[in-house]
Amino acid sequence: MPSLFDQIPQPNLYAWNILIRPDASSPFTPAPLSLALFSRLLLTTTHLPDNFTFPFAIRAASVLPAPRFGAALHAMVFKSPPHSSDVFVLNSLVHFYASCADLNLSFRVFSSIPHKDVVSWNSIITAFSQGGRCDEALELFRQMKDTAHVRPNDVTMVSVLSACAMRGDLDFGRWLHSYIRANDISDSLILNNAILDMYVKCGSLQDAKLLFDQMVDRDSITWTTLLVGYAKSGEFDVSRRLFNEIPSRDIACWNALISGYEQNDRPKDALALFSELKDADERPDQVTLVAALSACAQLGAIDTGCWIHAFIRKNNFHLNFHLTTSLIDMYSKCGELEKAVQVFESVDERDVFVWSAMIGGFAMYGRGRDALGLFLQMQQAGVKPNKVTFTNILCACSHAGLVEEGRSYFSKMLAVYGIAPDVEHYGCMVDILGRAGLLDEARDLIENMPMPSPASAWGALLGSCVVHKDVQLGELACKRLLELEPANDGAYILLSNLYAKSGKWDSVARLRKLMKDRGLKKEPGCSSIQVHGVLYEFLVGDVSHPQSRQIYLKLEEIMKRLKTFGYVPNKTQLLQNIEDEHVKEQALYLHSEKLAIAFGLISTSDRVPIRIAKNMRICEDCHSVAKLVSKIYNREIFLRDRYRFHHFKGGRCSCVDYW
């Protein structure tokens, strides 16, 4: 307690109020202190709290938030007219319940206010808007101006714009913009930023750019909002140009572009910008590090990932849940499961995302039992699973072939854990059944889903049909998949693989022609490998690498050597019906992961594991080549494909040829 206060012999209520009023500029200590002082006022004096004391104390309870204390304050207010009808007091209660995420109580208090002012309306509209109930927020806005005839101000409009952005309703957004201009609502930077954000989120970059050009005042939020908008729509050149033009760049600007790249399939650009940031002596924060780690995970860029981890340690960054989750994810995806486990074990506190990331790590490596064991530990630790946890659990069952366990967890999701399976969970379950060869059961599951069956589920079934060579069901799955996603080239590729595997070369040719007619091209297979901190990417038949000649020479040597050990190229992995057997074999050699392996062998010293990330599922032929290389060249190979992890060592793979 403040000692100065104790020196005032008999403080009056005015003095008490000044002390109880929480200081918004320092949100940590003052709020509990306000509440303590409020209690002391009640216990040690004869003063009764007035219509200043209550709102101050309620505001402190909102900041914490302290639900019980706040509810007790509400009860006191209720029993002491005239405060129970004081608009100032009641507005603070509306805000209090919203900050405790109890929108229904918040609305009840709001409804009980006899003479609602603009602050009352703003409090309730903001509550619904921030609580994600945008339709109700917009309806309240309509009532405010049309029924109650209260004039909205800039605060109202910021919340309304945010609700509109959530709905993605561009027409209404444009109307709001003109409403703001027509009604002379103060033209503040915050309001303009909110309009800009609305245009970006509603997908109109033209409107956004127009407004941006008209804005006299701009801050870093203005710049980054527009920059992120362009990044999301794939116009990275414009984003980068905007980034370069920002007059005074703070770390938030860097983060916006790094995350923009990372979240829009440009992980390599994200890491390039991250290294620019290091060169510029700008200090990364938690957000930067999380985004950069995620880019490393996507690319399998272990060197950069380790550098970031060392940086975190050296600079004593607090390992919060986000960073911990990102580190576990990065190490798992870069082939360092043990390091992921070390990070996991080094932290005392774990939230559901940390646990789920570790479960996901085990899942990727086919260590289904470890994943399920961890799931039990997680529940013993009192952490409730969420949707992500179950996706990873089902994924673990799928990769490890644990059919019974998968079925059991899937059925318990809603019944025991209260989590309704979504399309992703159904997709995993279809995968579990399909991989195990229970194709009819998988089909039944898809056809009896409570929601419209998604393309991904049919895709999973099609994949299983390829593995189990079921042409008839495969054709059906492909048809359904294409009905939902006509431009899905992956569907054609899978069906074509299925035909090739079953020796139906006429059908392969027919399919290829169809693809050509429809203008569909196979997504190029791409493998990336990081050597001495530099990331190299290889496409099918890539000759762009400066050491291309040596790489192909090495590849030829590998193939010769492998053949002496009995390797026979698996030509069913080819799409096209090539007549010439020799050409067929050559085409197989060009697969990007083989190029990356050859490059790995010539550019790293003995015993250094080769780490490769591939954007698609690894083919059977490359899988057997990798196994043999791991034995004959005595090199461990870590290969992450789109679905799981393969750790090749001594001629075997961690997936036990089940992928």
Residues that bind Zn ion in the complex, under the rule CB under 5 A:
591, 619, 622, 646, 653, 655
User: Would you say 258 or 618 has its CB closer to Zn ion?
Assistant: 618
User: Which amino acid does the sequence have at 523?
Assistant: E
Nearest-approach distance from CB 549 to Zn ion, in angstroms: 22
d(CA 123, CA 127): 6
Show the tokens assigned to 475.
């054709």
Nearest-approach distance from CB 108 to Zn ion, in angstroms: 58
Nearest-approach distance from CB 135 to Zn ion, in angstroms: 48
Output the DSSP codes for 459-478.
HHHHHHHHHTT-HHHHHHHH
Phi, psi of 645 (to 5 degrees): -110, 140
User: Would you say 18 or 656 has its CB closer to Zn ion?
Assistant: 656
User: Would you say 322 or 584 has its CB closer to Zn ion?
Assistant: 584
Confirm if 158 and 129 have CB atoms less than 8 A apart.
no
Q: How far is CA 221 from the centre of its chain?
A: 22
User: Would you say 169 or 620 has its CB closer to Zn ion?
Assistant: 620
User: Would you say 273 or 612 has its CB closer to Zn ion?
Assistant: 612
User: Would you say 144 or 397 has its CB closer to Zn ion?
Assistant: 397
Going by C-alpha positions, the residue among 439, 381, 434, 379 that lies closest to residue 409 is: 379
Quote the radius of gyration of the chain (alpha carbons, Å).
Answer: 30
Nearest-approach distance from CB 621 to Zn ion, in angstroms: 5
User: Would you say 221 or 495 has its CB closer to Zn ion?
Assistant: 495
User: Would you say 127 or 619 has its CB closer to Zn ion?
Assistant: 619
Task: Print the SS3 string covering 334-399.
Answer: CCCHHHHHHHHHHCCCCCHHHHHHHHHHHHHCCCHHHHHHHHHHHHHCCCCCCHHHHHHHHHHHHH
DSSP state, residue 614: E
Phi, psi of 647 (to 5 degrees): -115, 105
Nearest-approach distance from CB 590 to Zn ion, in angstroms: 9
User: Which amino acid does the sequence have at 531?
Assistant: V
User: Would you say 350 or 646 has its CB closer to Zn ion?
Assistant: 646
Nearest-approach distance from CB 364 to Zn ion, in angstroms: 11
User: Would you say 339 or 623 has its CB closer to Zn ion?
Assistant: 623
Nearest-approach distance from CB 612 to Zn ion, in angstroms: 12
d(CA 34, CA 38): 6
Question: Does an H or E element contain 95, and which?
Answer: helix 87-99
How many residues does the structure list for the chain?
A: 659
Question: Does an H or E element contain 613, and which?
Answer: strand 610-614
Nearest-approach distance from CB 25 to Zn ion, in angstroms: 57
Phi, psi of 187 (to 5 degrees): -90, 70
User: Which amino acid does the sequence have at 538?
Assistant: F
Nearest-approach distance from CB 170 to Zn ion, in angstroms: 45
| Residue labelled with tokens 């033009």 | 245
Nearest-approach distance from CB 604 to Zn ion, in angstroms: 21
d(CA 333, CA 312): 19
